[in-house]
Amino acid sequence: MKRVNTISIVTAFALVLLALIIYLPYSGRIQSDRTIKVGFVYDGDESTPYTYNFIRTQYAIETTYGDRVEIAVKNNTTAADAETALRELIGEGCDLIITTSYGYGEVAKKLAGEYPDIQFCQATCNNANETPIYDNYHTFMGYIYEGRYITGVVAGMKLRQMIEEGVITEEQAIIGYVAAYPYAEVISGYTAFLLGVRSVVPSAVMKVKYTNTWTSYTLEKKCAEELIAKGCVMISQHSDTTGPAVACENADMPYPVYHIGYNQSMIDVAPTTSLVSTRINWTPYILSAVEAVLKEEDIEKHVVATIHGNDAGAGFEKDWVQMVELNALIAVEGTDDMIEDTIREFERGSIQVFKGDYVGIDPFDETDTYDLSNGYIENEVTSAPMFHYVLQDVITVE
């Protein structure tokens, strides 16, 4: 009986081994041979820093997956044109569509409901977990307020140097900010930036000018010039072109007007004035989404981030936010060390940015106020920023 059992076990083992020998190469071939098509919808093109920041991820897809992933792109798409662009990508056979501007969120989610076999990933939006919820509609964003805060500290160190050297007075510590729209994403960003500045120069205040468009080189440059004419000695931006950087570089003032950029280094167009930039690194999320679709698995199971339902976000701790090229020729000595130290603090979760002796007012409802004495936790329940209060007495909207 023992001999029979031994033979049976050996026979069964041999059959399992044979099955594995036959199946594994086949399984690997199926996995490696599967191809998908990924579509991107952009509000700009390669010439605009915001869009180019996503195009970097396109290149990462091509490097990582080669001919397993085909890419289709729709450039210079307004919110009004988004549905047309999306339906074109659907018609072209896309398996995964990445929409990259807040204004696309509503139509992207609608089409996700119509096409449940296509995965839709929307950057900078917060509607994935709102009813109706679709398994194939996802939102994602890096915690960019962390980078904004650090750029503010960089700016504050430079302001303090200017004050100490007599280039400007304490009363002239006025920052200008070229902002796209009065959305929470933008307000959260410029608030974090100013709080970074004020951590070094407590007297600093800020003037904000809205362009009411994401991408307009001419208008962004003009707004920066107007802010400079009103006494702003430093300009930052949440807008998509290098217009503000060029305005700083060309400013005809008795003092240099320094610049803080966004999405990519702007030192090439403002070599004597652009200090540093920060950006969201979209690559970790999008590569994870591509991998999930290739394997026909849930996207959120592949993403390494803080997950809330169909929404994902992270900061410096997962490399979703990055600092971009400090201009060592004009930055204050020790700035690079400060940046590294502050990044480590964010990674440990030891910095609470939105806290202090401030009162914020909702720009659309003056009865809606927020006291920051006890702090406000940004990105607590969603990857998209939610802080939407303009700080009383220290921020003026022009």
**Do residues 71 and 159 both lie within one domain?**
no
* pLDDT surpasses 80 at 370: yes
| 90 falls within a domain | yes
Q: What is the DSSP string of 205-246?
A: EEEEEE-SSS--HHHHHHHHHHHHHTT-SEEEEESSSSHHHH
Q: What is the DSSP string of 35-100?
A: -EEEEEE-SS-TTSHHHHHHHHHHHHHHHHHGGGEEEEEE-S--GGGHHHHHHHHHHTT-SEEEE-
Q: What is the pLDDT of residue 33?
A: 77
Q: What is the pLDDT of residue 256?
A: 97
**Do residues 131 and 97 both lie within one domain?**
yes
**Do residues 134 and 246 both lie within one domain?**
no
| 3 falls within a domain | no
Total domains present in the chain: 2
Q: How far apart are CA 155 and CA 276, in angstroms?
A: 9
**Do residues 251 and 148 both lie within one domain?**
yes
Among 291, 314, 337, give the residue marking a domain's end.
314
Average pLDDT over residues 345-358: 97
**Do residues 387 and 294 both lie within one domain?**
no
**Do residues 243 and 94 both lie within one domain?**
no
**Do residues 67 and 101 both lie within one domain?**
yes
Q: What is the pLDDT of residue 15?
A: 40
| 19 falls within a domain | no
Q: How far apart are CA 260 and CA 178, in angstroms?
A: 11
* pLDDT surpasses 60 at 220: yes
* pLDDT surpasses 60 at 72: yes
* pLDDT surpasses 90 at 355: yes
Residue 184 parent element (H or E): helix 184-198
Within a 10 A sphere around the Cβ of 288, how many other Cβ atoms?
20
3-state secondary structure of 302: coil
| 12 falls within a domain | no
Instruction: Please enumerate in sequence order all residues whose Cβ is within 8 A of that of 23, keeping only pairs 6 or more positions apart, or say none.
Output: none
Q: What is the pLDDT of residue 32?
A: 54
**Do residues 237 and 302 both lie within one domain?**
no
| 349 falls within a domain | yes
Q: What is the DSSP string of 138-150?
A: EEEEE-HHHHHHH
Q: What residue numbers bound the domain in which 352 lies?
A: 144-280+320-397
Residue 26, Cβ density class (10 Å: 0-12 exposed, 13-18 middle, ≥19 buried):
exposed
Q: What is the pLDDT of residue 86?
A: 98
Q: What is the pLDDT of residue 24?
A: 39
* pLDDT surpasses 60 at 1: no
| 305 falls within a domain | yes
Q: How far apart are CA 230 and CA 233, in angstroms?
A: 9
Among 314, 331, 358, give the residue marking a domain's end.
314
* pLDDT surpasses 70 at 236: yes
Q: What is the pLDDT of residue 28?
A: 38
Q: What is the pLDDT of residue 23?
A: 37
**Greater model confidence, 21 or 68:** 68
Instruction: Please enumerate in sequence order all residues whose Cβ is within 8 A of that of 95, keeping only pairs 6 or more positions apart, or say none.
Output: 36, 37, 38, 118, 119, 293
Among 270, 294, 314, give the residue marking a domain's end.
314
CATH of the domain at 103: 3.40.50.2300
| 15 falls within a domain | no
**Model pLDDT for residues 14-67, shown as the tens digit of each residue:** 444 444 433 334 333 334 579 999 999 999 999 999 999 999 999 999 999 999
**Do residues 86 and 216 both lie within one domain?**
no
**Do residues 261 and 177 both lie within one domain?**
yes
* pLDDT surpasses 80 at 11: no
**Do residues 325 and 345 both lie within one domain?**
yes
**Do residues 135 and 148 both lie within one domain?**
no
Average pLDDT over residues 121-149: 97
Q: In 92-128, which positions are buried (b, 16+ CB within 10 angstroms) versus exposed (e)?
A: eebbbbbbbbbbbbebbbebbeebeebbbbbbbbbbb
Instruction: Please enumerate in sequence order all residues whose Cβ is within 8 A of that of 370, keeping only pairs 6 or more positions apart, or say none.
Output: 359, 360, 376, 389
* pLDDT surpasses 50 at 287: yes
| 11 falls within a domain | no
* pLDDT surpasses 50 at 173: yes
| 8 A C-beta contact, residue 144 and residue 125 | no
Average pLDDT of every residue of the chain:
92
Percentage with pLDDT > 70 across the chain? 92
